[in-house]
Amino acid sequence: MSAVTVSAHDVERAVRQIPDPEIPVISIDDLGIVRDIVVEGDTVHVTITPTYSGCPAVQAITDHIGQTVRRCGMVPDVVTTLSPAWTTDWMSDRGRESLRRFGIAPPDGTGPVRPDGPVVVDLSVRRVTCPTCGSRDTEELSRFGSTACKALRRCRACREPFEEFKAI
């Protein structure tokens, strides 16, 4: 099969639509890890910031971006940057809704406060809304779920277990 050259807009759209390999109901763009896409001639420069520095999906994401760009008839150049660090504040509203519909409680959009100075310790109980019934009467069962960026929770109202995408 020969590659077909497409417009810069089409290749950018194709890259932004790549599903996250660990949570395929959300795109890498809606997850907020696509930082920049620049098309220069036949080269597509893509900068990504993983959800955390040890994220095991980075190589799979990089490979998928490369395959997508090559399928568009262009040359990929994927760069991973860790600064500034990724935050759940970068997730799109559409991505949060996709997680919720899939049964994963999305972060509420208010990531942890990063003060300049002493670290504030918050001992309040986090309220996470159940993606199944909408109750806020939930409990954390395990700080880590199927991936390090998720926690395992259970709803006390409907008794359903679910994962929470932790706010970072």
Question: What are the structural domains of the chain?
Answer: 8-80 (3.30.300.130), 103-114+123-165 (no CATH)
**What beta strand segments (E) does 59-160 contain?**
75-80, 104-105, 138-142, 150-155
Q: Which run of H or E residues covers position 100?
A: helix 93-102
The model's pLDDT over 34-69, given as tens digits with 9 standing for 90+, comes to 999 999 999 999 999 999 888 889 999 999 999 999
Selection from 22, 88, 74, 87 nearest residue 46 by Cα: 74
pLDDT at 127: 86
Q: Is 161 exposed, middle or buried (0-12, 13-18, 19+ CB in 10 A)?
A: middle
Read off the amino acid at residue 148: A
The predicted-structure confidence for 133-157, as pLDDT tens digits, reads as follows 999 999 999 998 888 888 999 999 9
CA pair distance 162, 165, nearest whole angstrom: 10
pTM for the structure as a whole:
0.80
Handedness of CA 19, 22, 26, 28 (dihedral sign): negative
Classify residue 113 as left (phi > 0), alpha (psi -120 to 50) or beta: beta
Q: Is there a contact between 42 and 50 (Cβ–Cβ < 8 Å)? A: no
Mean pLDDT for the stretch of residues 99-127: 70
The pLDDT value recorded for residue 2 is 46
With beta carbons less than 8 A apart as the criterion, state whether 128 and 138 touch: yes
